[in-house]
Amino acid sequence: MTGSTGLIGSRIQELLYKDLSFIPLLQSHVDITDNSSVKDFIVKNDFDIMLHLAGYTNVDLAEKERDLCEKINVTGTRNVFNAVKNKGKKFIYISTDFVFDGKTPPFYEDSTPSPIGWYAKTKYKGEKVVGKDAMIVRISYPYRASFDQKKDLVRAIKSNLEEGKKLSMISDTMITPTFIDDVAHSLKYLVEHFSNEVFHIVGSENHTPYEAAIKIAEVFKLDKSLIGKTTFDEFYKDNKIRSKQSIIKSKKNNFWKMKSLEEGLNEIKKQLAQPHQT
Ligand SMILES: NC(=O)c1ccc[n+]([C@@H]2O[C@H](COP(=O)([O-])OP(=O)(O)OC[C@H]3O[C@@H](n4cnc5c(N)ncnc54)[C@H](OP(=O)(O)O)[C@@H]3O)[C@@H](O)[C@H]2O)c1
């Protein structure tokens, strides 16, 4: 697995380590942009499937750090993919709802991508690098109970409300929040039933960010009056690198029931109350 120290990869490992045996490719040992060390690592290690999560993931900074973002998301993906293909092993590429432009929702596995921002463009280029010789799993606004290194949308909203900060949340766009634990369980199925196809592993409901914030306040009993409304145009002004309607759905996921935001938040509440149980 690449990206095993990240928001999503670390939770996948935490939840599935009893079922699957992971060999992490750590950036501290192997930079995926360095082709010869990638090749060396892949040749030396014995595995069945490469789960490729490593990426440049800062959507806003990507507009400024275009070369670095492209190097990691495209060249890095190509390096890992080619080495794995040469070894005759399977490949799973983790991609994003951001490959869609939001103009004709909903977006299914067979919808045509048309990315807007630089990060999204590089993730789509990564999809094209692996093409039909890999499984592509697109996820969307992932969140989990805890991860000190990086906030997701849910924990960013929750901690701001806990600190009594006023929030201005967009009420005229849609997002599809996805509970990371569901991504992990779905991946277990997909690893065991591998095929070179595209899958959308996404939450079961779509919300405006405003509705999502209200749900977070309700579940965690925080002050809803801190949450105000804004519009996409007002919030992002000239920085329109996200799609307005990220309504992403799956025609293929008949193997794992994805949680709604409310169900995911209630599960997080349970996990936080019993931190030693997953
Ligand atoms: N987070 C989201 O909202 C979201 C949504 C949809 C799809 N995705 C996709 O899901 C995947 C995982 O996202 P995430 O949020 O878990 O990422 P993350 O928390 O930002 O972690 C990125 C991971 O990539 C590793 N990495 C970065 N550059 C590397 C390099 N040059 N060589 C080797 N490893 C490198 C990092 O290692 P270090 O810890 O050493 O830096 C870290 O493990 C990404 O491909 C992302 O595009 C994310």
In this structure, which residue's CA is closest to atom 6 in ligand 1? 96
Annotate 173-223 with DSSP letters as a single string.
-BB--EEHHHHHHHHHHHHHT--S-EEE---S--B-HHHHHHHHHHHTT--
Residue in the block written with tokens 């275009």: 66
Ligand 1 mean position to 27 CA, how many Å? 10
Taking 70 as the threshold, does the pLDDT of residue 183 lie above it? yes
Closest CA to 212 of 257, 161, 251: 161
- Among 13, 33, 41, 57, the mutation site with the greatest number of ligand 1 atoms within 8 A of its Cβ is 57
Q: Which helix (H) or strand (E) holds 10?
A: helix 7-16
Whether residue 117 contacts residue 241, with contact meaning beta carbons closer than 8 Å, is answered with: yes
31 φ/ψ angles, rounded to the nearest 5 degrees: -90, 125
Fold for domain 7-273? Answer: Rossmann fold (3.40.50)
Indicate whether 267 pLDDT > 90. yes
Look-up of token digits 């939840």: 15
Take residue 83 and report the two structure tokens written for it.
């080495």
Q: Residue 277: pLDDT above 80?
A: no
Atom of ligand 1 nearest to the CA of 97: 6
CA dist 82 and 39 (Å) reads 9
User: Which atom of ligand 1 is least distant from the CA of 32?
Assistant: 32
Average pLDDT over residues 23-38: 98
Ligand 1-lining residues (CB < 6 angstroms): 2-3, 5-9, 27, 31-33, 53-55, 57, 72, 76, 94, 96, 123, 139, 141-142, 150
> In this predicted model, what pLDDT tens digit does every residue of 73-125 receive, in sequence order?
999 999 999 999 999 999 999 999 999 999 999 999 999 999 999 999 999 99
> Which pTM does this prediction carry?
0.97
Instruction: Provide the pLDDT for residue 169.
Output: 98
Identify the pLDDT of residue 239: 76
Confidence of residue 54 (pLDDT cuts 50, 70, 90): very high
State the pLDDT at residue 278.
58
Average pLDDT, the chain: 97
